[in-house]
């Protein structure tokens, strides 16, 4: 198993930037595909971004492509989500997710963090 803890959330104005971090427990971090998902009040959880075990492959939701960037540092057991040009519709609880073998965009990741709030005001 793996435990995931998100940090770096908060409130920003539209057009601003924010970087989310996810710290993973254990020494097998490089064995996991990592993803970011988000859920706004009254809406379904949606895929945001994901990164392969080696970090060479990434995937993004069309709504965030060009504005968000996912990265990982396997030596530090960390995954990041850099968000720029934020929009009010980006407001949601963001979740870090991990799985040993899953399609990057799948909603069926095995392990999830507690979530962290991102609020973008207009």
**Is the model more confident about 103 or about 92?**
92
Mean pLDDT calculated for residue range 104-116: 93
pLDDT 10s digits, 65-102: 999 999 999 999 999 999 999 999 999 999 999 999 88
Residue with tokens 């973008």: 120
Task: Give the CA angle between residues 119, 47, 83 to the nearest 5°.
Answer: 45
Higher-confidence position of 121 and 28: 121
pLDDT at 26: 76
Q: How far apart are CA 31 and CA 34, in angstroms?
A: 10
Q: What is the model's pLDDT at position 27?
A: 76
Q: What angle do CA 72, 37, 104 make, to 5 degrees?
A: 60
Helices and strands (H, E) in the chain, number of each type? 0, 11
| Mean predicted lDDT score pLDDT of the chain | 96
The predicted structure's pLDDT at residue 88: 98
Q: What is the pLDDT of residue 28?
A: 86
């Amino acid at each position: 198993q793996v435990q995931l803890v998100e940090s770096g959330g908060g409130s920003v104005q539209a057009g601003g930037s924010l970087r989310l971090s996810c710290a993973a427990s254990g020494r097998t971090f490089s064995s996991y595909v990592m993803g970011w998902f988000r859920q706004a009040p009254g809406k379904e959880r949606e895929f945001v971004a994901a990164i392969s075990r080696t970090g060479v492959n990434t995937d993004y939701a069309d709504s965030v492509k060009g504005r968000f960037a996912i990265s990982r540092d396997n030596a530090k057991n960390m995954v990041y989500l850099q968000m720029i040009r934020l929009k009010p519709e980006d407001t949601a609880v963001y979740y870090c997710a991990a799985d040993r073998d899953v399609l990057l965009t799948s909603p069926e990741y095995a392990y999830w963090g507690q979530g962290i709030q991102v609020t973008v005001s207009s």
